[in-house]
Amino acid sequence: MTQGPVEKDPQDWATGDEPMTAPQRSYLQTLAREAGEEVPEELSKAEASRLIDELQQRSDRVRDGRNGR
């Protein structure tokens, strides 16, 4: 029996303190718009990842499996 990949906590990423990537910003903007929230301008990669996870938990589109990823 094999296990899936182990996910590393974003806080432990070697590049987690670097600015969020363009794809993270774009996806965050989509999720935030659906949630009626604003995306802070200056997020690190780790912060953006945590916010993506949080917004995905609240997104009907993601919960229903219709996120296209």
Comparing C-alpha atoms, which of 13, 20, 28, 23 is closest to residue 45? Answer: 20
pLDDT in tens, 17-57: 899 999 999 999 999 998 899 999 899 999 999 999 999 98
Do residues 30 and 51 touch, judged by C-beta distance below 8 A? no
In this predicted model, which residue has the larger pLDDT, 30 or 1? Answer: 30
State residue 68's pLDDT score: 47
57 versus 6: the higher-pLDDT residue is 57
At residue 3, the pLDDT reads 55
- As a whole number of angstroms, the distance between CA 31 and CA 39 comes to 9
pLDDT at res. 16: 74
Q: What's the predicted TM-score (pTM) here?
A: 0.70
